[in-house]
Amino acid sequence: MKNLHNIFHGMRGISLKLKLLIPFLFFAFASTTILTLISLTSQQNLIKKEERNLLLQHYRLFLDRLNQKQEQAISIASSFADIPDIGRLLKEDDKVALQNYIAPIYQNLKNNQGVSQLYLHRPPGISFLRLSNPGENGDTAGLDIKSVSEIFSGAKNSVCLEMGRSGLVTGGAVAVYNDGKIAGSVGTLFTLGNAFMDDYHRTWKINAALYTIAEGKPERITAAGELSLENISGIYKGQGNIHEPDIMISPEKHPDMSVLIGPVVNCSGEVVALIVFNADRTATLKRLAGTRNLMVSAGIAVILISFLFIYLVINLFIKPIKEIVAEAREIASGERENGLDVKSSDEVGSLTNTLNTMLEALKTRRMEIENYARTLEKRVDERTSELLESEEKYRTMVENVPLVVYRILKDGTTEFVNSYLTENIGYTVEEALDDKRFWRDKIASEAPEAFKTVWNTCFIKGEECRLDHKVRSKDGRLLHFITHSIPTTDENGEVKWVDGFMLDITELKRLEDRAIQTEEVRTLGEISARMAHEIRNPLSIAGGFARRLRDAMKDDDPNKRLSIIIVEEVAKLEIFVTGLLSTITPFELTLSSVNINELILESIAELDRLLESRNLEIVSDLESNIPDIEADHKILCQAVTNIIKHSIISSPPEENISVSTAFRDDEVVVTITNAFKHMSNADIEQFFFPHIEQKLEESVLDLPLSKIIIHRHGGKINLIKIGDNILKIIISFPMRTA
């Protein structure tokens, strides 16, 4: 330690040239050597990684091939199982007929699809018929794949990969049913032999071999490729129970190869075979050796050139630096006020110019300091006045914009909110400033998820947030707002507060809903006009001829009944067309102040006879002190009467119909609830569409017009299905309509 200290202490006395030369030369040598080693190592690792990925990809492709064979086997077996005759013959135990039936099909599958064997079993898993070896049946044949036993245990189908009597096979079996009961099973097998491996080798150009494990020793079954390994005993380490492939780059027994040994498992998860892929690395090793020699030579050349170049540069650099240092000392001591002589335009010249600039800046700063010392108090007063004026302008602007502007701290404290909060929502500024839960409990009471979204996005993620939500004002009005929140963070990235503004879009939402209603009315009118004009003229002609035909026939004529049916059906169509025309007939509204409760009572009174005839009763629950609406009393009463009439006609006998009114969210709401004999979702969607009733006495011609009348009054109508047979009709009117 003492010797090292002496070395560093002695280096302090050497010249600047050596101080620069030694570290630069050392770093040039070290960096070049390290970069060369890193490049060589990285190249080798990258090539090995690519080789590993390539072998692993081939392993996965091989497993995919096996899965495809299994799916193909299940598909073929399912096709056999769907043939009714096979299930019948299995049940009848008619082996000869069954063999004659499926033998041609099997031969075709063997030639075209490569199916090696076809099995049929009877419960409880006894082999019944086997093609390509039809001479065995019953228990003597045994089971070639375990999937057959799974079929008779309740599975509809099963796939498997096993070592069978004909070698490594894969396939699947499905259940065969007859009269709803399992009559047996049918299965197909593919042999994984030379043809399978040759096809894989031709497709992917990789040496491959398939091994089975007998008493822990691998034995090759089949292989493809000129360089496929004859024996893996030198590199196989007894991985009979592994479930992941083992990849070896240049193993000891095969240094010029990259090898993958991967397990092939059956349906029970047991390793039944090993797949071995190997690739020749001779060309890769030669390329790596050439690259290594080239990079070492280049590194040595770079080191030598760097040594020479650094030495020359340091010599050129030292001389002008000495001169500049001496002149800088004169500037620092105040002995020099004139600029330095610029002898070159390189970096040394730039350094000289910088010293000259620094000299001029020192002179200027000295003069400015003297000037600031004389005018400091005046400048402070001016800047303070400007800041106060700017703050007042900003506060005035914020207080007068038609937005709720706010700043919220992380603990929920409201640091600032403008007076538009009181004007628009009704809460005072003091209520917001004094309550940390003001925004959660008051502003977000109608939309708690909106508060969570803003909190998580701004305070936790530190991101801007923009969303639409509803706000309940202090006087109970439901308002729609667009809120835009912007977080402000400190130097550590922590959110300090959130600034934002709220824009009232309640009126915009109302206009948007009104526009949608207008478009619905226009579309319904176009549909009705089109259908009415297309049907009316030919329907009138058909109706006239049908009536003439009915009147011309005698009562004992067998076709008399048919003509009467034609006249009745044409009459239904004429009523349908009349309903269509009613929806497109223009009408004007004469608006006046209308009490909705009185209008409903008037409609119910008009329907008393119909209620009595159908043994029904209307239960009304009309809220008192409901404000009047602007409406055409006669036309609106017609629409409400027609909707209640439809509810009466649609209700089963001895059922009550509920009619209620309420005032909420600046709207007068009428709710009609009744039971239906049957109503599907499609009926709900087409409730107000013109349609033909099966019974003429149940026709409600003006039901489509009723919706148009309600929309013309600025109202909305919604249908809600409760359970299987309850319909709730909700009609809402604004307090004032345009």
CA 333 to chain centre: 72
∠ CA 363-366-367, nearest 5°, is: 90
Sign of CA pseudo-dihedral 248, 250, 254, 257: positive
501 close to 406: Cβ distance less than 8 angstroms: yes
**Residue 278: what pLDDT?**
86
**Residue 504: what pLDDT?**
81
Query: Which domains does the chain show, CATH number per domain?
Result: 52-280 (3.30.450.20), 401-504 (3.30.450.20), 587-738 (3.30.565.10)
29 Cβ contact list (under 8 Å, min separation 6): 303, 306
737 close to 716: Cβ distance less than 8 angstroms: no
Strand order in the sheet with 246-249: 217-224, 207-214, 271-280, 257-265, 246-249
Sign of CA pseudo-dihedral 49, 55, 56, 58: positive
Cβ atoms within 10 Å of 329's Cβ, excluding its own: 11
Give the span between the Cα atoms of 240 and 217, in whole angstroms.
Answer: 9
Cis peptide before 263 (omega within 30 of 0): no
DSSP notation for 508-558: HHHHHHHHHHHHHHHHHHHHHHHHHHHHHHHHHHHHHHHHHHHHHS-TT-T
**Residue 673: what pLDDT?**
92
Across 623-705, the runs of DSSP E, i.e. the strands, are 629-631, 656-664, 667-675
Token pair listed for 487: 């977080």
pTM assigned to the model? 0.41
**Residue 672: what pLDDT?**
92
Place of tokens 């064979």: 69
What element of type H or E holds 706? helix 703-712
Give the span between the Cα atoms of 69 and 64, in whole angstroms.
Answer: 9
200: nearest Cα among 92, 376, 65: 65
471 close to 443: Cβ distance less than 8 angstroms: yes
Give start and end residues of each alpha helix (H) in 82-212. Answer: 84-92, 95-112, 147-151, 194-204
Tell me the average confidence (pLDDT) per consecutive run of 10 residues in the chain, 738 residues long.
58 66 76 81 84 89 89 88 87 87 88 86 84 50 56 78 75 86 87 83 86 77 78 68 78 83 82 85 80 81 80 73 71 68 70 76 75 72 73 65 81 82 80 82 79 83 84 80 86 85 79 68 65 67 72 75 73 63 62 90 89 87 89 88 87 86 88 83 68 48 75 85 86 71
Give the span between the Cα atoms of 699 and 692, in whole angstroms.
Answer: 8
DSSP state of 140: T
